[in-house]
Chain A
């Protein structure tokens, strides 16, 4: 049981490039979400999904897209990276209980 996995661990992008951050969970959780962590800002919700085929925006959705075609996977897409998207990104999932489990994070640097 791997829990929540994220790839890559670290990525450097140039402004304007696109990329997809991968997230997968093997706990059969319905609820998955993406957060970004910035100094002094805590964890801010980007997008979330309450089940396959259903996604919604969080606090800071601009510049990011998500889709949820399966229960297991919840990729986050940056369509045109900007330096303001330099951050650490965490994927999380939770099932019937309220506790949320986080992945190890993806550190993104946009030059």
Chain B
């Protein structure tokens, strides 16, 4: 059973507007969450992370929000740029070097110039 879910397979946004990508998880033991970005024919690259002791983490145009009670996290991209067009995966794990990452199915973001 999928422990990390991304229910929107795709999203289109106008350049300059906000992109909001959503992710839900079922395992209450998860305490570390990440977003990865993937371009075609490349491996995923790390974008931003958040631990469960925070509810928000910001890095430039990218902000991740965590709602532990709802088991929900979201990635906000403001402003969106055409170069942001990619597939975005969220991932979750229990903190610790030996613990597995569980990935969502990905959301394909298209930023329209």
Contacts and interface: CB of A to CB of B under 8 A. Distances in A.
Contacts of A92: 43
Interface size class of A (residues with CB under 8 A): 20 to 34
Most chain A Cβ neighbours within 10 Å, of B2, B91, B95, B97:
B97
Contacts, number: 61
- Secondary structure type dominating chain A contacts: strand
Q: Is the interface of B mostly helix, strand, loop or mixed?
A: loop
Interface in A71-110: 90, 92, 94-96, 98-105
Interface stretch (B13-21, B56-64, B75-83, B103-111): B103-111
B98 interface: yes
B104 A42 contact: yes
Interface of A: 4, 30-31, 33, 35, 40-45, 48, 50, 58, 90, 92, 94-96, 98-105
Given A45-B100, A98-B34, A99-B49, 20 more contacts: A31-B97, A33-B101, A40-B105, A41-B105, A42-B2, A42-B6, A43-B89, A43-B91, A43-B103, A48-B100, A94-B97, A95-B97, A96-B97, A99-B34, A101-B46, A102-B44, A104-B41, A104-B42, A105-B41, A105-B42
